[in-house]
């Protein structure tokens, strides 16, 4: 399609992405809320570091387990309906965590664990849904930027909400912050219901923009009639899990998310317990590395799309920014060699920037997902990646229980960053669209 036609095409797709971005910001704020409340909550409920690590991991257990069902639901019923139910669900379960204040001892810990399980269950379709929306609304030449924007929402969640949540916790109380974020989520659900549709069904889509999307290689897929998973679905799952060509991508995302879950679980605890910051100071200080992560995410996506437009292969355009960024995340090791708060923030900001710059795994997933199974493919990819949401909080909690220090924790995280770069560079091959999974023959 010519540059003139591209200019004449509408920009509705960017409006849809803006709503997706806002919802993902709230999604990550709800994941991170417990980390900010943890210093006061653990004191009030008498929770030790290992128990806190287990509670942090609760989200991951259900989030991982629900990836395949969530991906299947997206393929069967469409992103719009499934995502709307998910937003309402995780918002209600987030609000309910504030009620744990009326419990004590084992009852409080168990209830908190179960509510975090439910939040993970409700959020399971979110990132496969994000990838499917980007794959269906954006041509390949814009997909890197679009993916970078929605993945950078994890940083904006901290930038926008951490100071607000920290103020609520420090001035009003930790139970109230859960109620506040639950209400924000319900407002977002109403906005989603009014604005998000499939491209071919959107009432305001212009023919030129739809042509731009389709001609650019977007996956325009209609939801199939409701039905139950069958033998063919199971065969598709096996094919996507057992494909050796995808193992490097799965390992890469696991390691990237290990860094992510440190930042949205243990990072505020690190600042309070290891570096002596107050809760309000922590809310402000966590925003600085997050701004760097946000900028890194945008620049990584822009560079990837620029490389593609300059005629480089899709493989180079995706792999080079990812590997460059993940190697930059090794700056986190610098925190072990300084006690100055300014240097801590510099090293953490560099690590955040690098992780954001290299967070294009979802762009790769959008590029390679086979037709007819975009939701299922994203669900499997997210399942493997978010196994780290189970492993990372518990490993960190165990290390802290044994050493009473974050030094080995930061070494562990640097190892994850290096492995993320290595696995995508050497264990994952060419970035290209997979062939449609053939139907079962009788």
- Each residue of 120-149: pLDDT tens digit? 999 988 877 887 888 888 887 787 788 778
How far apart CA 58 and CA 54 sit, in angstroms, is 6
Instruction: Please answer whether residues 151 and 359 qualify as being in contact, where contact means their C-beta atoms are separated by less than 8 angstroms.
Output: yes
Superfamily for domain range 12-217+245-427: MFS general substrate transporter like domains (1.20.1250.20)
**Taking the domains of the chain in order of start, what are their residue ranges?**
12-217+245-427
Determine whether 164 is exposed, middle or buried from the number of CB atoms within 10 Å of its CB (0-12, 13-18, 19+). Answer: middle
pLDDT at 323: 93
Report the chain's terminal Cα–Cα distance, integer Å. Answer: 42
Q: What is the pLDDT of residue 436?
A: 64
Q: How confident is the model over 170-195, as a mean pLDDT?
A: 91
Is the pLDDT at 10 greater than 90? The verdict is no
Cα–Cα distance, 29 to 21 (Å, whole number): 12
| Of 70, 90, 98, the residue nearest 184 (C-alpha) | 90
pTM (predicted TM-score): 0.69
Over residues 292-314, mean pLDDT: 88
Determine contact, residues 356/303, Cβ cutoff 8 Å.
Answer: no
């Amino acid at each position: 399609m010519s540059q003139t036609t591209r200019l004449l095409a509408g920009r509705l797709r960017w409006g849809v992405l803006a709503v997706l971005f806002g919802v993902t910001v709230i999604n990550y704020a709800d994941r991170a809320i417990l980390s900010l409340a943890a210093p006061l909550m653990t004191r009030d409920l008498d929770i030790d570091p290992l128990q806190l690590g287990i509670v942090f991991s609760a989200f991951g257990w259900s989030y991982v387990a629900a990836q395949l069902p969530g991906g299947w639901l997206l393929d069967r019923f469409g992103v719009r309906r499934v995502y709307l139910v998910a937003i309402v669900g995780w918002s209600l379960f987030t609000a309910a965590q504030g009620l744990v204040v009326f419990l004590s001892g084992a009852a409080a810990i168990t209830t908190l664990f179960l509510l975090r399980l439910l939040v993970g269950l409700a959020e399971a379709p979110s990132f496969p849904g994000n990838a499917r929306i980007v794959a269906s609304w954006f041509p390949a030449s814009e997909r890197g930027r679009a993916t970078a924007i929605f993945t950078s929402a994890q940083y904006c969640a901290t930038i926008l909400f951490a100071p607000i949540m920290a103020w609520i916790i420090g001035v009003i109380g930790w139970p109230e912050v859960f109620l506040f974020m639950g209400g924000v989520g319900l407002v977002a659900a109403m906005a989603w219901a009014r604005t998000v549709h499939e491209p071919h069904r959107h009432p305001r889509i212009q023919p030129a923009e739809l042509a731009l999307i389709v001609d650019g290689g977007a996956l325009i897929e209609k939801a199939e009639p409701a039905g139950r998973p069958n033998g063919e679905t199971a065969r598709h799952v096996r094919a996507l899990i057992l494909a050796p060509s995808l193992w490097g991508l799965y390992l890469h995302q696991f390691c990237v998310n290990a860094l992510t879950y440190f930042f949205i679980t243990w990072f505020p605890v690190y600042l309070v317990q290891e570096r002596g910051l107050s809760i309000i100071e922590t809310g402000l200080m966590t925003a600085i590395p997050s701004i760097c992560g946000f900028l890194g995410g945008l620049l990584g996506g822009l560079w990837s799309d620029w490389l593609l437009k300059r005629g480089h292969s899709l493989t180079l355009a995706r792999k080079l920014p990812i590997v460059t960024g993940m190697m930059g995340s090794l700056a986190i090791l610098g925190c072990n060699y300084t006690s100055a708060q300014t240097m801590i923030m510099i090293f953490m900001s560099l690590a955040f920037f690098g992780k954001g710059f290299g967070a294009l795994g979802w762009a790769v997933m959008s590029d390679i997902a086979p037709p007819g199974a975009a939701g299922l493919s994203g669900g499997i990819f997210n399942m493997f990646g978010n196994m780290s949401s189970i492993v990372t909080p518990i490993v960190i909690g165990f290390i802290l229980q044994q050493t009473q220090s974050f030094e080995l924790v930061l070494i562990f995280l640097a190892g994850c960053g290096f492995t993320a770069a290595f696995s995508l560079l050497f264990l994952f091959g060419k970035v290209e669209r997979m062939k449609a999974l053939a139907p079962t023959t009788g």
